[in-house]
Amino acid sequence: MPELPEVERARALIEQRALGRAIVDVDDTDAYVTRPHQAGEIAAALTGRTLTSANRRGKAMWLETDDGDGPTLGLHLGMAGRIVVDDDIAGDYAPSNEVPSPRWDRFSVQFADGGHLILRDKRRLGRAILDPRIDRLGPDAADVSRDAFRERVGQGGAPLKARIMDQTVIAGVGNLLADEALWRARLSPQRPAGECSDEELDRLRVQLRAAIRSAIALGGVHTGELIGHRVRGGRCPRCGTELLRATVGGRTTYWCPREQR
Ligand SMILES: [Zn+2]
């Protein structure tokens, strides 16, 4: 499932390849993916415009047109979406036996030069929407400040893992990134968030940001050091202790009971 690093790679692909290209047509005929818009509504809004910026907060992505004078196109990768620009693809989140098929193209923008920007999504849970609202999201997990992190994450009785996955607290952390960051920071996912010290919260922020940078560079959250060990009987890649497995914050969670306190 795409988390912040996958969406950032998709955003960067759009920024590198799709900006400055005039839009001559839009296929928005999948009215489920473009809800609440009617088929043709996004096409009418975007045709004749030019994409001028690609932005992201957490897992939300939005593209401005005509330097902000035109409508904004929101794209969400959902559970399995990828972004395709011409022949390049981004947003892939794990090695998969399935080659993403053009049959899964749910929304596409055609440029005047003949190229395309496509939302390719087997599960059809991604979205394309005009003028998306992002004001409910917390600050982006990749650049949240130390003070904001302490204040927003370090409160309440919810387990620490649930707290950092709450998109209104900080935006962009999903299940795998949460496990990786907590393991790097040597903090238990079950710790009540409000009981963490400032020093522990600072450590978590530093390690979360390091995990995000690494995942962006290496190709996605599946490249994390812990991720390959998240299997029954898996062992901590640092100390060899068998990992615990439980449901925390509604999600399957693995952690090292020796090091993560
Ligand atoms: Zn360990």
Is the overall model pTM greater than 0.85, yes or no? Answer: yes
What does the pLDDT look like over 3-20, one tens digit per residue?
Answer: 999 999 999 999 999 999
The closest of 117, 28, 35, 125 to 80, measured between CA atoms, is: 125
Q: 229 CA to middle of ligand 1, Å?
A: 11
Q: 45 CA to middle of ligand 1, Å?
A: 53
Distances, alpha carbon 175 to alpha carbons 24, 52, 90, 247, in Å: 39, 32, 20, 11
Q: 255 CA to middle of ligand 1, Å?
A: 8
Helix or strand holding residue 182 (H, E): helix 175-185
pLDDT band at 98; cut points 50, 70, 90: confident
Query: Which residues are within 8 A (CB) of 65 and not within 5 positions of it... i.e. 6 or more apart?
Result: 23, 46, 49, 50, 51, 52, 71, 72, 73
Q: 74 CA to middle of ligand 1, Å?
A: 40
Q: What is the pLDDT of residue 241?
A: 98
pLDDT band at 96; cut points 50, 70, 90: low
Q: 235 CA to middle of ligand 1, Å?
A: 8
Q: Which residues surround ligand 1, an ion (CB under 5 A)?
A: 236, 238-239, 241, 256, 259
Q: What is the pLDDT of residue 74?
A: 98
The residue-averaged pLDDT of 93-100 equals 68
What does the pLDDT look like over 14-71, one tens digit per residue?
Answer: 999 999 999 999 999 999 999 999 999 999 999 999 999 999 999 999 999 999 999 9
Q: 58 CA to middle of ligand 1, Å?
A: 29
The residue-averaged pLDDT of 210-230 equals 96
Q: 73 CA to middle of ligand 1, Å?
A: 44
Q: 208 CA to middle of ligand 1, Å?
A: 17
Q: 160 CA to middle of ligand 1, Å?
A: 18
Q: 241 CA to middle of ligand 1, Å?
A: 5
Q: 246 CA to middle of ligand 1, Å?
A: 16
Is 43 exposed, middle or buried (CB count within 10 Å of its CB: 0-12, 13-18, 19+)? Answer: middle
